[in-house]
């Protein structure tokens, strides 16, 4: 069986206007994505962890 070249995606959470999802790439790397209206932000694992730390400090 051939190895898939498509990433495996999973929705983390979503609201009416926003979406957070992750993709596990065929090489095993996980990337994270935030869709905020017409802007999409892409993060590698290390960047995502740092971003979550930043958001937690906003409280």
Structure confidence by residue, pLDDT tens digits, 13-51? 999 999 999 999 999 999 999 999 999 999 999 999 999
Helices within the chain (DSSP H only): 45-56
pLDDT band at 1 (very low <50, low <70, confident <90, very high): low
Calpha distance 36→21 (Å, rounded)? 12
Each domain of the chain, given as residue ranges in start order, spans: 8-56
pLDDT for position 2: 62
């Amino acid at each position: 069986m051939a190895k898939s070249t498509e990433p495996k995606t999973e929705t983390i959470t979503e609201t009416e206007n926003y979406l957070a999802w992750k993709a596990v790439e065929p090489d095993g790397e996980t990337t994270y994505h935030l869709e905020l209206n017409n802007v999409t932000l892409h993060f590698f694992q290390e960047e995502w962890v740092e971003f979550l730390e930043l958001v937690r400090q906003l409280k």
